[in-house]
Amino acid sequence: MTNGERYGSRSTVVGAAGAFGALVVLAACTVLTTADLMSNACIGDAGQMMCPTSRPDWFRPLPGAVTLLGLVAGLTGVLAGRPLRRPALIAGYLLVTAAMIAGGLFG
């Protein structure tokens, strides 16, 4: 199998790279919005403090771990090529979105 058959046309590869770039931006937003859940101490300055919630300890690393898993799934799809690209990118988006929703619900 040649690279042209494995990865598709140039526009397909650029589109997949763009979709992965958008996934990275979504993951960064997820980590920033759930940072208070993952911290051990209060964060903040100038009178605006943000402290960790009183949720169970098992939940605290969950948004970050699921976000990282979504990024790995998306990167695997981009690198694997045509047969796995779309399902892996969809799985990456679903995992990162699930982490953002869970962080919003439990945060």
Per domain, the residue ranges of the chain are 3-38+54-106
Nearest Cα residue to 63 out of 89, 26, 88? 26
pTM: 0.82
Task: Write the CB contacts of 102 (distance below 8 Å, at least 6 apart in sequence).
Answer: 62, 63, 66
Placement of tokens 């790279």 in the chain: 17
Q: How far apart are CA 105 and CA 90, in angstroms?
A: 22
> Virtual CA dihedral for 99, 85, 25, 42, nearest 10 degrees?
30
Residue 4: the pLDDT is: 65
Residue 53: the pLDDT is: 65
Q: Which of 1-5, 26-30, 32-36, 83-87 is predicted with the least confidence, judged by mean pLDDT?
A: 1-5
- The yes-or-no verdict on residue 20 having pLDDT over 80 is yes
Placement of tokens 């969950």 in the chain: 62
